[in-house]
Structure 1
């Protein structure tokens, strides 16, 4: 079911007309995707994930990304891999259900419409997790969407 509620497309952070990275999120994770430059040995790439900071680059060069994260993460549960010329970074959200408007602080923020859609999608994902056996993929919200972190708290 989570696949049905996954973002239909990745969000892109573009700077100066060039794609810096793409990203998407679930209730628990934010995934970033960075296209790697060709002909650079994979062993030269690095990624340093801290609870509130991310640094990515090629050893011996200035960092490609060096930003504070938009929200704190569980650094010891976060990781990165290199797959088919793409660096895939998985950031484990410290606060499950928190809707991020960007992975990095102040850069590539979603516009208000996209942020609202993202919050609604995560709310549907939360409904599905907490109500196994029910189908929510076609559900729609009218009005303001509740915060996915706190909506079901205290309901039994």
Structure 2
């Protein structure tokens, strides 16, 4: 197994990766944010446009947002399915401009999206830190699952076993202690 880089180098690489990711996201014609349950997208447009000038199509696996007759801001496949009936879009004035706000309700409310559409640059979902207040809003079972997912993701990142893999290793080590006469040198874990 290769040695992992020293913490300073890893931190420097993380900072560079974050800066690259922020630059890629800033270059997109929209801003987006997400919780474990939904995705919110905002697009600033000129104040002269009205709802009827827009071309917005929200489907289970795809999204298109644009101004009729122009190159769309977003047009592509979603990384995961959404609940179309629970997803909406609005056009609101914000000062001298207007803003298209798109709200997508995730079908699987247990996963982070790396991007809004699959052709857009990805973000590193393992670096997402959900606000604790949001975690506190979840019921006990859901919260436990989210915390386990976050723990497992951090473990994987560090090349360490996930909680399930650790459980198997603990059971195996307990079994080995109970059966010292058995030879486990060729045992395969899978």
Fold-level similarity (TM above 0.5): yes
What residue is the counterpart of 1:58 in the other structure? Answer: 67
Q: Distance in 2 between matches of 1:47 and 1:96?
A: 23
The normalised TM-score by structure 2 is: 0.54
Greater length-normalized contact order (CA 8 Å, ≥ 6 residues apart): 1
> Which has the higher Rg, Structure 1 or Structure 2?
2
Unaligned runs of 5+ in 2: 1-20, 141-149, 156-162, 164-190
The normalised TM-score by structure 1 is: 0.64
Structure richer in strand, relative to its length: 1
Q: Distance in 1 between matches of 2:68 and 2:119?
A: 26
Asked if 1 retains the 8 angstrom alpha-carbon contact of 2:30 and 2:73, the reply is: no
* Residue 67 of structure 1: how far off its partner (Å): 0.8
What residue is the counterpart of 2:110 in the other structure? Answer: 97
Q: What RMSD in Å do the two structures reach over aligned CA positions? A: 3.2
Residue 76 of structure 2 corresponds to residue 67 of structure 1: yes
Structure richer in helix, relative to its length: 2
What residue is the counterpart of 1:116 in the other structure? Answer: 126
* Residue 26 of structure 1: how far off its partner (Å): 1.3
Unaligned runs of 5+ in 1: 1-10, 132-140, 152-156
How many matched pairs?
123
Which one of 101, 104, 119 corresponds to residue 88 of structure 1? 101
What does 1:25-40 correspond to in 2, within 5 Å?
25-40=34-49
* Residue 18 of structure 1: how far off its partner (Å): 4.1
